[in-house]
């Protein structure tokens, strides 16, 4: 069983947040994938999104739930208010052990108009990828757990 299939059922938040990856993909399945070499404007945006994703992980690790959910779009604010972000983090710690740190953010392919940033997060028992999906307006439109980047 792969890490992703183990994570989603264990977290119990279903399509509202973590299982949103398949839902997100199905909603935009007919759209082209962003090219590997993004235009300069998108690349600059990605640098800001790398910083925002890393800051969100730092905020979660520090228990600053409102800060962690800063930058969520309206749907994410409704699906994952600060109390839900806290619950997600607590479930991750319960399943994977204490937070140990995180690596550098990197890009993942995404169907347009989304941009994906993944932050490898190290827990006591396992490293998981925390993927932040940014919409066209630059707000977090999805938060998913994925295998960590290699």
* pLDDT single digits (tens) 95-107: 999 999 999 999 9
Cα(121)–Cα(115) distance, rounded to whole angstroms?
Answer: 19
Tokens standing for residue 54: 């890393």
Q: What is the pLDDT of residue 108?
A: 94
Cα(127)–Cα(19) distance, rounded to whole angstroms?
Answer: 19
Say if residue 22's pLDDT is above 50: no
Cα 10 vs. chain centroid, distance in angstroms?
17
Tokens standing for residue 21: 């990856």
Domain map (residue ranges) of the chain: 3-27+39-146
Q: What is the pLDDT of residue 45?
A: 59
Mean pLDDT, range 12-23, rounded to an integer: 33
Cα(118)–Cα(130) distance, rounded to whole angstroms?
Answer: 5
pLDDT band at 11 (very low <50, low <70, confident <90, very high): very low
3-27+39-146: CATH topology: Nuclear Transport Factor 2; Chain: A, (3.10.450)
Say if residue 87's pLDDT is above 60: yes
Preceding peptide of 3 cis, ω within 30°: no
Say if residue 128's pLDDT is above 90: yes
Portion of the chain with pLDDT greater than 70, in percent: 70
Say if residue 14's pLDDT is above 50: no
pLDDT band at 46 (very low <50, low <70, confident <90, very high): confident
């Amino acid at each position: 069983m792969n890490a992703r299939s183990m994570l989603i059922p264990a977290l119990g938040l279903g399509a509202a947040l973590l299982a949103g990856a398949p839902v997100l993909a199905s909603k935009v399945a007919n759209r082209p994938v962003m090219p590997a070499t993004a235009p300069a404007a998108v690349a600059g945006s990605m640098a800001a999104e790398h910083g925002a994703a890393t800051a969100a992980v730092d905020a979660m690790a520090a228990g600053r739930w409102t800060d962690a959910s800063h930058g969520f779009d309206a749907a994410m604010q409704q699906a994952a208010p600060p109390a839900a972000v806290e619950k997600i983090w607590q479930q991750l710690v319960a399943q994977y052990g204490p937070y140990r740190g995180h690596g550098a953010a990197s890009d993942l392919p995404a169907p347009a108009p989304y941009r994906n940033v993944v932050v490898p997060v190290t827990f006591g028992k396992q490293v998981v990828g925390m993927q932040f999906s940014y919409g066209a307006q630059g707000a977090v439109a999805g938060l998913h757990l994925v295998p960590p980047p290699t």
